[in-house]
């Protein structure tokens, strides 16, 4: 793993000033190897693409890419499949209602293709962000169009309905569907990588029939280990596909390592210790420095220690959406994001000292660039962050 000796020296100097109350502008030259990413979610797509004519939609994409470039970022994490659908021309998934009037309706141009074109024109890498298992956030199966691959599984145990609609991770046809969907993207589009987020197992008992059949015919596994093995099988298959097409594959799991094992069944320790699963991990470390349960410094150190394979990089996902707001789960640190306007800057600086650090990402676009969401705190936060992005 690369060691940023020069970068460590300058960040140590900056840390001295930051934590000793010095607020004057410091000219810090950053290592060019650091990746800086911004998430563009289905919420932004609904705001800037959906219900816009083709020219307006394309102009909005150009503006988004330019904003990201001008701020000094070089990577976009674009949500291309949110609800078992696509913002690109797919033979597997229907057009997404995130970019069209309804699911299955062509918006008039290939949104992903245009994003790639504009991003690469500005020297920005684009990773296609996929929700592998999620079909809906509601329980309304009637909203699933006939073109959606989930449609044929309605009223079957391949779909789980409860607090949303999800594919059953234990089903071989589901693993194949996810893998085929990724291969379609990396084969047909000049994306730089694929990113999965933190939505894995939606329920502990979704696959009880498959589990009982498994333990009847195989060596005993706990239910928890069975969950982990199903996700690992899918992740390894997707990684092999990405490797075949020379694309990067990353996962952005829950920042709380315990949640990945107790709730999501994402085997992050295995992924960080073997090059067979991911090229990078991007944990969502959405905590402040004074979070009583999960203090930022402690959590990034835990993730850095978790990665033991030299071919697995670490990118830190940061919570720009919390800037200026109360952090209700932080206990005594509840007002930290309100009382300070240099949170993101300090979190980047600390992250740069990690052994496996390869960059950071911010969630999400609108909180940086939508004027309706901007406050004096967010604007000052951006200005402070710019000091270390030179």
pLDDT above 90: residue 19: no
Residue 20 belongs to some domain of the structure: no
pLDDT tens figures, 60-119 = 999 999 999 999 999 999 999 999 999 999 999 999 999 999 999 999 999 999 999 999
For 90-110, b/e burial (b = at least 16 CB within 10 A) is bebbbbbbbbbeebbeebebb
Residue 93 belongs to some domain of the structure: yes
CATH of the domain at 100: 3.20.20.80
From CA 71, how far away is CA 97, in angstroms rounded? 30
pLDDT tens figures, 212-239 = 999 999 989 999 999 999 999 999 999 9
pLDDT above 70: residue 4: no
pLDDT tens figures, 324-368 = 999 999 999 999 999 999 999 999 999 999 999 999 999 999 999
pLDDT above 60: residue 24: no
Q: What is the mean pLDDT of the chain?
A: 93
Look at 242 and 27; give whichever has higher pLDDT: 242
Cis ω for the linkage preceding 375 (within 30 of 0): no
Residue 373 belongs to some domain of the structure: no
Residue 262 belongs to some domain of the structure: yes
Answer whether 169's CB lies under 8 Å from 227's CB: yes
Answer whether 338's CB lies under 8 Å from 327's CB: no
pLDDT above 50: residue 253: yes
Residue 281 belongs to some domain of the structure: yes
Residue 2 belongs to some domain of the structure: no
Per-residue pLDDT, averaged over 50-54, amounts to: 97
pLDDT above 80: residue 47: yes
The structural domain count of the chain equals: 1
From CA 210, how far away is CA 206, in angstroms rounded? 9
**If pLDDT is split at 50, 70 and 90, which confidence band does 6 have?**
very low
| pLDDT at residue number 33 | 81
Residue 350 belongs to some domain of the structure: no
**Residue 78 domain boundaries:** 34-337+356-364
| pLDDT at residue number 32 | 53
pLDDT tens figures, 294-324 = 999 999 999 999 999 999 999 999 999 999 9
Per-residue pLDDT, averaged over 263-278, amounts to: 97
Residue 176 belongs to some domain of the structure: yes
**If pLDDT is split at 50, 70 and 90, which confidence band does 14 have?**
very low
């Amino acid at each position: 793993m690369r060691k940023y000796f020069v970068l460590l020296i300058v960040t140590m100097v900056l840390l001295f000033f930051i934590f000793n109350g010095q607020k004057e502008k410091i000219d810090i030259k950053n290592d060019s190897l650091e990746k800086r990413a911004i998430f563009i979610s289905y919420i932004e797509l609904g705001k800037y693409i959906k219900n816009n004519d083709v020219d307006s939609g394309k102009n909005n994409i150009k503006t988004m890419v330019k904003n990201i470039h001008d701020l000094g970022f070089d990577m976009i994490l674009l949500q291309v499949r949110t609800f078992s659908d696509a913002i690109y021309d797919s033979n597997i998934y229907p057009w997404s209602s995130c970019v069209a009037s309804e699911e299955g309706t062509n918006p008039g141009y290939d949104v992903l293709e245009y994003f790639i074109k504009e991003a690469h024109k500005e020297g920005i890498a684009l990773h296609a962000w996929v929700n592998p298992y999620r079909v809906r956030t509601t329980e309304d199966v009637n909203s699933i169009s006939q073109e959606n691959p989930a449609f044929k599984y309605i009223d079957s145990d391949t779909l789980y309905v409860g607090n949303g609609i999800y594919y059953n991770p234990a089903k071989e046809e589901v693993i194949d569907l996810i893998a085929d969907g990724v291969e379609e993207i990396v084969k047909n589009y000049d994306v730089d990588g694929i990113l999965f987020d933190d939505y894995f197992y939606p329920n502990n008992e979704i696959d009880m029939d498959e589990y009982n059949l498994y333990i009847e015919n195989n060596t005993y596994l706990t239910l928890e280990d069975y969950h982990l093995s199903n996700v690992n099988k899918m992740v390894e298959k997707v990684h092999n596909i990405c490797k075949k097409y020379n694309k990067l594959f990353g996962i952005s799991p829950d920042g709380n390592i315990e949640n990945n094992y107790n709730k999501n069944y994402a085997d992050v320790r295995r992924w960080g210790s073997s090059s067979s699963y991911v090229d990078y991990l991007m944990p969502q470390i959405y905590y402040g420095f004074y979070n009583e349960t999960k203090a930022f410094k402690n959590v990034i150190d835990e993730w850095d220690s978790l990665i033991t394979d030299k071919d697995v990089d670490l990118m830190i996902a940061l919570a720009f959406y919390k800037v200026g707001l109360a952090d209700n789960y932080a206990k005594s640190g509840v007002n930290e994001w309100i009382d300070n306007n240099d949170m993101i800057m300090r979190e980047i600086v600390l992250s740069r000292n990690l052994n496996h650090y390869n960059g950071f990402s911010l969630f999400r676009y609108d909180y940086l660039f939508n004027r309706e969401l901007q406050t004096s705190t967010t604007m000052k936060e951006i200005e402070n962050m710019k000091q270390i992005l030179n």
